[in-house]
Amino acid sequence: MARVKAAVLISGRGSNLKALIDACAAPGFPAEIALVLSNRAEAAGLDYARAAGIAHVVIDHRQFPDREAFDAAIGAAVEAAGAQLICLAGFMRLLGPVFTEQWRDRILNIHPSLLPAFRGLDTHARVLAAGVRFTGCTVHFVRPAMDDGPIIVQAAVPVQPDDDEQRLAQRVLSVEHRIFPLALGWAASGRLRVDGNHVIVDGCQEPEGVFINPAA
């Protein structure tokens, strides 16, 4: 069966990109990565694309007069690669409403919190400051507002009393690396249907859409 082509957009380290590359290497996985796109030439994650022999491109947002022009260049590159899905894996630019509407329900983003709590940057520091007992990560379809859109899958991770930002980030990250491939696999096999704010995962009951990992 032909695999669905995905583009992965990054800005930095690329550990989630690596998790997606590894997942796509498994026989029978329904997606393949056709393009890795970074807005920063120095993004370390580009090395994962190089090592895996995946086409990669740098599109520097600073070269464009405005967001729409940058978004259009991204769209052109993604379409030229034949991608039908876009994964935002630590991509630090907001995509505008024209682009997100054009790619509605075909852009997946990962965020290291249980959305809609703790949208935005410095997530783990704010989680610790708030004293919450659980945090986690979320993969969701993208809407124009930051870290907004219908939730595909979440994983809960307990906050330990002795956690600092780095420890907590690492523990959440290891779970991110599990749920992003899961969500991409569902999307690529056409199992996701969006109904308002809700994402229905076809072929399974609601609990499979909530992936809890208390041992993480």
Residues identified as active-site: 111
Number of CB atoms found within 10 A of residue 198's CB: 11
Phi, psi of 20 (to 5 degrees): -70, -40
Of residues 203, 188, 181, 189, the one with CA closest to residue 18: 181
Residue 38 in 3-state DSSP? strand
Please report how close the Cβ of residue 137 comes to ligand GRF at its closest, in angstroms.
6
Which residue, 12 or 209, is less far from ligand GRF as judged by CB? 12
Backbone angles phi, psi at 170, to 5 degrees: -65, -40
Smallest distance, ligand GRF to C-beta of residue 56, A = 14
CB of 46 to ligand GRF, least distance (A): 11
Minimum CB separation of residue 90 from ligand GRF in Å reads 3
Q: CB-wise, 46 or 89, nearer to ligand GRF?
A: 89
Contact residues toward ligand GRF (CB under 6 A) are 10, 12-16, 45, 89-90, 110-112, 173, 176
- Retrieve residue 13's tokens: 């380290």
Nearer to ligand GRF, 44 or 200 (CB): 44
Distance CA 58, CA 46 (A): 9
Give every CB contact of residue 202 below 8 A, 6+ residues apart in sequence. Answer: 190, 191, 192, 193
Indicate the residue whose CB is closest to ligand GRF: 90
- Closest CB to ligand GRF among residues 122, 202: 122
CB hemisphere CA count around 35 (13 angstroms): 21
